[in-house]
């Protein structure tokens, strides 16, 4: 009799244990599923265009609910000339690309990286070709140190003296610079205090700043305004995909929408594909009344 009661108790506890483990497993699955739907933070430099002019955005299907809330596009600007200030960044490693860009028949600002094998050679080619020179100053990106901005970079952990010294050394490696723009910098550009150190260096040397807009949280416009540093911001990245088809499509869209914009700062890179598309499209753009102008002519002073 006792053995039978013991068997019943054993069976009861076995069933209880199975039910208890099942309840824990179900609760854990619900917690795991909820965690899987939580928003994730992406910590890497922004390389895609931020806030391009509405009339130039890539057309494509939109949800019906958003279509009704879509703001009207800008009115056509008939009788007003179109101006493009073209900047080519990341110059300093390929002298052949710098040579080809210097021969383009329109103004181009050379964004030259400091301390590269051909930084000084690129600056010489730019001067001989009548092109403006920018120091393309590396700055701390989100995701550092996994993402390395390269030699001559300024970082948020530096003191004001270290930042100023780094800016001076980088300017010496790119002789003839009339302005500075940021290479990467999605973290540094959000630090108004550290950015002010850079801008004071530029003000002392009477240089302007071009914000490449690698982050939506950039403090550059406000800091430049407070310190009286001439300033301009990028409107469009030309060649994120480094394909002739995509780059040509960007320029063709500028051409087709020319009644909806007046002045744009366009940044590209020294890719062979980009150079070839520019050689092809510049005559078409100029024939349509789109003028390429020096970057310094669109800077707000």
Reported confidence tier of residue 283, pLDDT bands at 50, 70, 90: very high
Question: pLDDT tens digit string along 150-183?
Answer: 999 999 999 999 999 999 999 999 999 999 999 9
Whether 112 contacts 123, CB under 8 Å: yes
Does residue 77 contact residue 286 with C-beta atoms inside 8 Å?
no
Q: What is the pLDDT of residues 84-134, one digit of tens each?
A: 999 999 999 999 999 999 999 999 999 999 999 999 999 999 999 999 999
pLDDT for res 142:
97
Per DSSP, the residues of 121-176 read: HHHHHHHHTT-EEEEEEEEPPTTTTTS---TT-B-TTS-HHHHHHHHHHHHHHSTT
As given in the structure block, the two tokens for residue 6 are: 């013991």
For residue 184 the two structure tokens come to 């990467």
Confidence of residue 51 (pLDDT cuts 50, 70, 90): very low
Q: How many CA atoms lie within 13 A of 11 on its CB side?
A: 6
Question: What does the H/E/C string look like for 210-255?
Answer: EECCCCCCCCHHHHHHHHCCCEEECCEECCCCCCHHHHHHHHHHHH
- CA-based max dimension of the chain: 108
The helix or strand, by DSSP H or E, that contains position 99, with its residue range, turns out to be helix 95-102
| 209 bridge partner residues | 180, 231
- Location of structure tokens 């948020």: 156
26 vs 21: CA distance, rounded Å: 9
The pLDDT confidence band at residue 8, using thresholds 50, 70 and 90, is: low
pLDDT at residue number 31: 39
Mean pLDDT of 125-151: 97
Q: Structural domains in the chain?
A: 80-298 (3.20.20.370)
Residue with tokens 């860009």: 101
Across residues 39-45, what is the average pLDDT? 31
Asked whether the predicted pLDDT for residue 56 surpasses 60, the reply is no
Candidate from 33-37, 96-100, 281-285 with smallest mean pLDDT:
33-37
Per-residue pLDDT, averaged over 283-299, amounts to 98
Indicate whether 278 pLDDT > 90.
yes
Q: Which two tokens stand for residue 64?
A: 């019906």
> Length of the chain in residues, anyone?
301
pLDDT tops 70 at residue 73: no
Torsion sign across C-alpha atoms 154, 155, 160, 161: negative
Q: What is the pTM of this model?
A: 0.77
Whether residue 273 is predicted with pLDDT greater than 80 in this model: the reply is yes
Tokens 């008939």, located at residue: 78
Taking each helix axis from N to C terminus, what angle separates 272-287 and 244-256, rounded to the nearest 10 degrees? Answer: 20
- Per-residue pLDDT tens for 180-197? 999 999 999 999 999 999
d(CA 292, CA 108): 8
Residue 75, pLDDT score: 42
Query: Lowest-confidence range among 38-47, 104-113, 165-174, 211-220?
Result: 38-47
């Amino acid at each position: 009799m006792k053995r039978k009661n013991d068997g019943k108790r054993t069976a009861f506890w076995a069933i209880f244990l199975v039910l208890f483990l099942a309840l824990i497993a179900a609760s854990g699955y619900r917690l795991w599923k909820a965690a899987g739907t939580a928003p994730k933070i992406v910590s890497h430099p922004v390389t895609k265009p931020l806030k391009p002019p509405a009339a130039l955005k890539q057309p494509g299907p939109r949800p019906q609910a958003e279509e009704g809330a879509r703001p009207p596009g800008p009115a056509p600007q008939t009788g007003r000339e179109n101006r493009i200030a073209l900047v080519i960044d990341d110059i300093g490693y390929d002298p052949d690309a710098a040579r080809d860009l210097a021969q383009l028949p329109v103004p181009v600002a050379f964004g030259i990286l400091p301390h590269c094998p051909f930084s000084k050679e690129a600056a010489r080619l730019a001067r001989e070709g009548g092109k403006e020179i920018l120091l393309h100053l590396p700055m701390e990106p989100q995701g550092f140190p996994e993402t390395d901005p390269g030699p001559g970079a300024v970082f948020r952990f530096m003191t004001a003296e270290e930042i100023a010294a780094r800016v001076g050394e980088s300017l010496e490696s790119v002789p003839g610079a009339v302005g500075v723009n940021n290479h990467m910098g999605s973290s540094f550009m959000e630090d108004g205090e550290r950015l002010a150190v850079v801008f004071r260096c530029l003000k002392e040397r009477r240089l302007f700043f071009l914000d490449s807009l690698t982050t939506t949280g950039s403090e550059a416009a406000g800091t430049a305004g407070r310190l009286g540093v001439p300033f301009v911001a990028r409107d469009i990245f030309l060649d994120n995909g480094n394909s002739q088809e995509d780059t040509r499509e960007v320029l063709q869209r500028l051409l087709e929408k020319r009644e909806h914009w007046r002045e744009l700062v366009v940044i590209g890179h020294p890719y062979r594909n980009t150079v070839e598309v520019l050689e092809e499209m510049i005559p078409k753009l100029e024939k349509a009344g789109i003028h390429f102008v020096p970057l310094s002519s669109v800077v707000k002073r």
